[in-house]
């Protein structure tokens, strides 16, 4: 936060730059499986036939094949033009639909 105040003091007025600094930690996230999802995957067995467990099994197979969980298709709020945001949102939605088709 001090960096953002310092940058603003020196005349940097780009909201995109400030937002990038605030969200820089996102670059360091990994595709590691969260422990709660790993725990869920460990409870899957072939005798479970409810929709929930079939979806969980499909997600496990997806993770094993892709090395990541499926994209949710939700684009976080950000500073952008409407046109750019809508184009980027379309990319997210398309990827989520592709991931859902792979799971199906």
What confidence tens digit (pLDDT) does each residue in 44-95 have? Answer: 998 888 999 999 999 999 999 999 999 988 888 887 888 989 999 999 999 9
Give the Cβ contact number of residue 53 at 10 Å. 16
pLDDT the model gives residue 91: 94
Q: What percentage of the chain exceeds 90 in pLDDT?
A: 51
pLDDT for res 19? 79
User: Which candidate, 71, 43, 74, 41, places its Cα nearest to that of 58?
Assistant: 41
Q: Is the pLDDT of residue 15 over 70?
A: yes
Q: DSSP secondary-structure letter at 70?
A: P
Question: What mean pLDDT do residues 7-12 have?
Answer: 52
Residue 11: pLDDT band (50, 70, 90) is low
pTM above 0.75, yes or no: no
pLDDT of 9 above 60: no
The C-alpha atoms of residue 74 and residue 92 are separated, in whole angstroms, by 7
């Amino acid at each position: 936060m001090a960096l953002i105040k310092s940058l603003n003091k020196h005349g940097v007025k780009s909201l995109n730059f400030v937002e990038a600094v605030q969200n820089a930690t996102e670059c360091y996230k990994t595709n590691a499986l969260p422990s709660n999802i790993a725990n869920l995957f460990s409870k899957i067995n072939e005798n479970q036939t409810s929709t929930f467990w079939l979806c969980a099994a499909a997600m496990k197979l997806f993770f094993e094949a892709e090395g990541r969980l499926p994209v949710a298709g939700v684009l976080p709020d950000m500073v952008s033009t409407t046109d750019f945001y809508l184009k980027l949102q379309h990319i997210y939605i398309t990827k989520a639909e592709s991931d859902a088709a792979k799971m199906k």
